[in-house]
Amino acid sequence: MAVRPLLFWVVLCLLFNVSLLFAADQLPQALLTPPMGKDGAPMVMVPAGSFPMGVPQGDRDGGRDEYPRHDVFVDTFFIDKFEVTNGRYLQFVKATGHRVPQNPNNPTRNLWQGDTIADSVTDRPVINVDWFDAEAYCTWAGKRLPTEAEWEKAARGEDGRIFPWGNQMAGLSRANFGRTGLSGPVRDRPERLLLYPPIISVDKYDNSVSPYGLFQMSGNVAEWVADWYDPKYYATAPDKNPKGPEKGTQRSFRGGGWIDSTPSVRSAQRNGTNPNTKMNWMGFRCARDVKSSGAAQN
């Protein structure tokens, strides 16, 4: 007599599992597998949701452009796991004939020799690119620059942490920063030799990734983002998918670079400069939308 109830529950469990599999098959593919742009760079998904953007008024390290702190909702998007490397940027230059990264003021700050690069810098972030170079690369790759809100959420998650890894103070065991004045080969740790400019491979510091698994959202190179920069923008910014002011004279950049001090590598830190600026501590990473149909863009 006990066989039939047991058989009933077995069948019910099987049907339940099949329904789960069916439901999973109906999930948008973009939510299951991050897309791959033309550059082949790995991306991660940042799910939709709200996060506290900026810092509380009176925060010791925060600038006036970082408050008022306000909750911002950001739709699901994808973002590069790593900063764009010289190797990937070389693919872009060869495919499009775009100008090579060159420092306009000091040739000794270049990593490229004409349109070639040394093997030793292939996996290090591209530098000496202005905002227009960054935008052109992302467009070629089938992506775009992230907004300030997307970048900050990707860097710090939804719990208001100060740095990508949490609230512990930044140090050389977690980020590549504070190296102003270096003028030759320097040694960070025994296994890591740095050249000048002292940028490191984009996959280092796996002990300090962001909540979504992004590397070096703090230090190494500062990163261009899409928005025009306005230090007073937070006072009037929309609370859903803000894209920055409609116009301006400076473009925003985030994250701080090898040249910066601890306050400048915080996830909430903001800054802006002329979009034509090229520096040996400035790079970028790309982002990508999820189509409303639920499919990843090709």
User: Which CATH number belongs to the domain containing residue 260 in this structure?
Assistant: 3.90.1580.10
Beta-carbon contacts of 118 under 8 Å, excluding residues fewer than 6 positions away, are 111
Domain count for the chain, please give it.
1
Average pLDDT, the chain: 85
Q: What is the pLDDT of residue 195?
A: 61
pLDDT in tens, 105-125: 888 778 999 999 999 999 999
Q: What is the pLDDT of residue 146?
A: 98
pLDDT in tens, 120-148: 999 999 999 999 999 999 999 999 999 99
Residue 13 domain flag: no
Choose between 27 and 73: higher pLDDT. 73
* 157 vs 228: CA distance, rounded Å: 23
Residue 214 domain flag: yes
Q: What is the pLDDT of residue 191?
A: 35
E runs forming strands in the chain: 43-46, 49-53, 70-74, 77-80, 112-113, 116-117, 186-189, 192-194, 222-228, 251-254, 271-273, 282-284, 287-289
Tokens 């983002």 locate to 225
Residue 10 domain flag: no
Q: Quote the pTM value.
A: 0.84
Residue 6 domain flag: no
The yes-or-no verdict on residue 31 having pLDDT over 60 is no
Residue 3 domain flag: no
Residue 102 domain flag: yes
Q: Domain residues for 57?
A: 30-289
* 117 vs 115: CA distance, rounded Å: 7
Residue 12 domain flag: no
Residue 207's nearest CA partner among 176, 178, 165 is 165
Contact 94, 246 (CB under 8 A): no
Q: What is the pLDDT of residue 193?
A: 40
Q: Taking CA 226 as the corner, what is the angle to CA 260 and CA 142, rounded to the nearest 5 degrees?
A: 115
Percent of the chain with pLDDT over 90: 71
Instruction: Give the confidence band of 29 by pLDDT, cuts at 50, 70, 90.
Output: low
Residue 265 domain flag: yes
